[in-house]
Amino acid sequence: MTRRRIIIVDDHPLFRAALRQTLAAGDPAISVEEAGDLAALNAGLEADRDCDMVLLDLNMPGARGFSGLLLLRAQYPDVPVMIISAVDDGAVVRRAFELGAAGYLYKSVGPQEIRRAIETVLAGDVFVPEGTDLAVKDEHSALMQRLSSLTPQQVRVLMMLSDGLMNKQIAYELSISEATVKAHVSAILQKLDVDSRTQAVIAASRIEEGQFEALLSAVRDPG
C-alpha cells in the first residue's frame, strides 16, 4: 500500500487533531503530520520534500493575508496546497486559486466533504467549493499572476519592503549582501511591472487588501 503524506498547518491544536482523525479514519494509507506555524512546516519539508499535500490555514502567525501561500508555492512548487479556512468569501477563494492553491475547503464542512476534497487533489485535480466561479476576474487578477512568479527570496524581500525595511536591514535579516538585496529588488520591480519600491509595496498590499479583513473577521467569529 502506497503511503500518502499530508501535512496540516494550523495554529489551533484541537482543530489539527480533529482533522487528523478525520483523514486517518477515511484512508489508512494516509500519513498525517502537523505543523503549528510556517516555520515548523518549512522544517518538515526541508527534512523530507516528498509530500503529497499541504493543508494550509490562511490565518497563520507570521503571515499576512496570502503571503504564506505565496511563499509556500514559490518554495515548494511541486507540493499541492489545499487552503482550509473559516472564510467562505468568494473573492478570497478566487484569490487563493490565482496564487496557486490546488483546492479550497471550508472549515464548516463535514468529514465526508473533507475526504472528497482530499481525494480530488491527491488525484491531481483541483477542488473548487460549490458556487465559486473561477472565471471571474477583477482589477488585481493580473497582479496576482505576476506575484506568483516571484522566487521564495523575492517574496521575503517584498514582505520586508512592505514592513518599511531598508536594503541594509533586509540584508542583515536574510544574511545576504546589500548588492544581492538590490538585485532582488530590481527583479521584483521587473516582474511586477512597476517602477519604484513604493509601487512594489502598494502591489504587495493587494495580497492583504479586502480579504485580510475577512480573515480577521473569521477569527473573531469562527462559527
Per-residue pLDDT of the chain (223 residues), as tens digits, is: 578 999 999 999 999 999 998 888 867 788 999 999 888 998 999 899 899 999 999 877 766 678 888 888 888 999 999 999 988 888 889 889 998 999 999 999 999 999 999 999 999 999 999 888 888 887 778 888 888 888 888 988 988 888 889 999 999 999 999 999 999 999 999 999 899 999 888 887 776 654 444 433 433 343 3
- The reported pLDDT for the residue numbered 188 is 93
Whether the CB-CB separation of 127 and 117 falls below 8 Å is answered with yes
Q: Which residues pair with 7 in a beta bridge?
A: 33, 54
- The reported pLDDT for the residue numbered 210 is 46
Q: What is the pTM of this model?
A: 0.81
- The reported pLDDT for the residue numbered 97 is 93
Assess whether 106 and 214 both reside in one domain.
no
What pLDDT, in 10s, does the model give residues 3-32?
899 999 999 999 999 999 888 886 778 899
Which DSSP helix (H) or strand (E) runs through 24?
helix 13-26
Assess whether 13 and 117 both reside in one domain.
yes
Assess whether 57 and 86 both reside in one domain.
yes
Indicate the residue among 123, 151, 171 that finishes a domain: 123
Residue 179: domain span = 140-219
Number of folded domains in the chain?
Answer: 2
Cell of residue 135, nine digits: 472565471
Does 132 fall in a domain? no
**What would you report as the CA-atom Rg of the chain, rounded to the nearest whole angstrom?**
18
CA distance 172 to 177: 8
CA distance 202 to 211: 15
Tell me, what CATH number does 196's domain have?
1.10.10.10
Q: Which residues pair with 30 in a beta bridge?
A: 4
CA distance 202 to 56: 25
Q: Which residues pair with 35 in a beta bridge?
A: 9
Whether the CB-CB separation of 162 and 208 falls below 8 Å is answered with no
- The reported pLDDT for the residue numbered 223 is 35
